[in-house]
Amino acid sequence: MRLPRSRARSSALSAALLGLALTAGGASTATSAPAPAVDAASPRTGPRTIEGWPVRTPSSLGLRGSAMERGAAIAEGLDSTCFAVLRNGRLARDWNWRLERDVPRPVFSITKSVTSTLVGIAIRDGDLRLDDTVATYVPEWRGTPSGSVTVRNLISNDSGRVWSMQSDYADLLAASNRTKYAIGLTQQYAPGSAWAYNNAAIQVLEPVLVKATGMSVARFARTRLFEPLGMSHSTFITDRADNAAVFYGLETTCLDLARLGSLYLGRGKVDGTRLLATSYVRRTVGRSSTVHNAAYGYLWWLNRPGRLRGATDAVDAQGQPLRQVTGQLAPFAPADLYAALGFGGQVLLVDPSTRTMVIRLGLPAPAGEEGYGFADAATVLTQALR
């Protein structure tokens, strides 16, 4: 594990993101000391809980507390705002810095994994199918080269829609109507022929979900996912046209994300309520969705070995990587690990074999420095398990 850097070296971008998080829930709730790890216990109310999570000692959950403490120290040194380890539906420990644990904060592309979950719910509800053409819901694509792009292509990131740093990380973010901008881009490659971490293509899932479910994405997420799971601190931001930013716009907390992880650990079922088909969970986090990237399921990252692709790899005229890399995101860890990942080191790492989760949210690393990532969380996991 890397040594912590000084917390005083946060970049201007980090400070701006912290300001966004501080205002996400209204009044500022910044704190100079970590929030208490556990709430006060009462002998009459039974085991201690935090936000509904039963709290147990690490040793009783088969975890090494010393490894968790080391992991938390690394996370704190990398400008984290929260860090948590859970196993078997129990909270071993959480740490909170700068913000109280219940303050929603941006999690960027972790949003994509939530959007994948919403797609799965709509499929189970009978409102949507993976092999539906997107043009069924987006009439602007009918009769164009994008007419054969499917919902499956969008959630596998092999839609072939046009991608560039300018379109994806500048123009899309600046658009007053991000959905309209994303729909209006062109087709670059044949669907299924090339992989790209394409924010604009994923944003097209917003009108797909709206048309399929008959309600806004924010409302659908609240009523069909957040409320059933008890994700009471989770919301979608919207653009000036009131479209939910389904590629990056979720604001949430460490312990709310643990509830999302629990849904997948339960193979689509939580507390007796089934939200996702078991087959959808298996396809989403249990196997690679495309031959182009072994590390990618349906908008979730996987530890599967094989050909790997990064978010901004250079490609040739056919959309194929100029440099082919093979391996795993964390070769020292089990191959069945999966994670929701977001810009700046936002991580929800899930180990289905041991039913353990490691979660880190926080500020991006300064320019030129490596931030928190999949391998960091996997290191905590492997060192903490007895």
| pLDDT value at residue 59 | 97
Q: Which residue has the higher pLDDT, 182 or 32?
A: 182
Say yes or no: 251 and 336 in one domain: no
Say yes or no: 91 and 142 in one domain: no
Say yes or no: 205 and 284 in one domain: yes
pTM above 0.85, yes or no: yes
Residue 195: inside a domain, yes or no? yes
Mean pLDDT of the chain: 90
Q: Picking from 25-34, 280-289, 302-311, 365-374, which range would have the lowest pLDDT averaged per residue? A: 25-34
Say yes or no: 211 and 334 in one domain: no
Res 187 pLDDT > 90 = yes
Residue 3: inside a domain, yes or no? no
Side-chain-facing half-sphere of 99: CA atoms under 13 Å: 29
In which band, very low, low, confident or very high, does the pLDDT at 337 lie, cut at 50, 70 and 90? Answer: very high
Q: Which residues pair with 85 in a beta bridge?
A: 93, 358
User: At which of 297, 313, 328 does a domain end?
Assistant: 328
Please give, one letter per residue, the 3-state secondary structure of 228-283: HHCCCCCEECECCCCCECCCCCEEECHHHHHHHHHHHHCCCEECCEECCCHHHHHH
Q: Could you tell me which of 358, 382, 353 has the C-alpha nearest to residue 372?
A: 358
Say yes or no: 43 and 169 in one domain: no
Instruction: Tell me the pLDDT tens digit for each residue of 98-152.
Output: 999 999 999 999 999 999 999 999 999 999 999 999 999 999 999 999 999 999 9
CB 215 within 8 A of CB 208: no
CA 334 – CA 67 distance, rounded (Å): 18
Question: How, if at all, do strands 235-236 and 105-106 pair?
Answer: unpaired
In which band, very low, low, confident or very high, does the pLDDT at 359 lie, cut at 50, 70 and 90? Answer: very high
Residue 1: inside a domain, yes or no? no
Structural domain span for residue 362: 9-95+330-386
Q: Which residues pair with 105 in a beta bridge?
A: 252
Residue 268: inside a domain, yes or no? yes
Q: Which residues pair with 321 in a beta bridge?
A: 315
| pLDDT value at residue 8 | 37
Say yes or no: 288 and 340 in one domain: no
Residue 380: inside a domain, yes or no? yes
| pLDDT value at residue 364 | 87
Total structural domains in the chain?
2
Question: What is the token pair recorded at 177?
Answer: 């109507």
Please report which residue ranges of 188-239 form alpha helices under DSSP H: 199-203, 205-213, 217-221, 227-229
Rounded to the nearest 10°, the torsion over CA 190, 191, 194, 198 is 120
Q: How many C-beta atoms surround the C-beta of residue 8 within 10 A?
A: 6
Task: Give the percent of the chain with pLDDT over 70.
Answer: 88
Q: Could you tell me which of 223, 219, 225 has the C-alpha nearest to residue 244?
A: 219
Say yes or no: 13 and 126 in one domain: no
In which band, very low, low, confident or very high, does the pLDDT at 36 lie, cut at 50, 70 and 90? Answer: very low
User: At which of 328, 354, 377 does a domain end?
Assistant: 328
Q: How many C-beta atoms surround the C-beta of residue 326 within 10 A?
A: 9
- Cα dist. 345→131, 153, 377 in Å? 32, 26, 10
Say yes or no: 299 and 338 in one domain: no
Say yes or no: 210 and 128 in one domain: yes
Instruction: Tell me the pLDDT tens digit for each residue of 281-332.
Output: 999 999 999 999 999 999 999 999 999 999 999 999 999 999 999 999 999 9
Please report which residue ranges of 101-196 form alpha helices under DSSP H: 110-124, 151-156, 165-166, 172-174, 178-184
Say yes or no: 349 and 245 in one domain: no
CA 110 – CA 377 distance, rounded (Å): 15
Residue 152: inside a domain, yes or no? yes
| pLDDT value at residue 349 | 99
Q: Picking from 12-26, 129-143, 146-160, 265-279, which range would have the lowest pLDDT averaged per residue? A: 12-26
Say yes or no: 66 and 135 in one domain: no
CA angle, residues 208, 309, 244, in degrees to nearest 5 = 25
Say yes or no: 188 and 295 in one domain: yes
CB 347 within 8 A of CB 372: yes
Res 33 pLDDT > 50 = no
| pLDDT value at residue 98 | 96
